[in-house]
Amino acid sequence: MRFVLMVFGVALMLSGGLWALQGLGLVMWPAESFMLAERQWALYGAITFLIGALLFWRGSRRR
């Protein structure tokens, strides 16, 4: 279970980071994405990143 939490946490952190950077307009890839420079996606990405970080932390702390 630890491994699953950690892998899922990393996946959420990576996708949330991408969403946040796209929402802030710092990453303009892919060019046809609807998330580019949309502030709401920066918020969604930050929330997703934090959930992933919590899952990763929880997985690394369990025995």
| 15: its two tokens | 């996708």
Ranges of each domain in the chain: 2-61
Average per-residue pLDDT for the chain: 94
Global confidence as pTM: 0.90
Q: What is the pLDDT of residue 21?
A: 97
Region 21-27 average pLDDT: 95
Q: What is the pLDDT of residue 10?
A: 98
Question: How do residues 31-57 score in pLDDT, each as one tens digit?
Answer: 898 999 999 999 999 999 999 999 999
Q: If phi over 0 gives left and psi between -120 and 50 gives alpha, with beta otherwise, what is residue 50? A: alpha
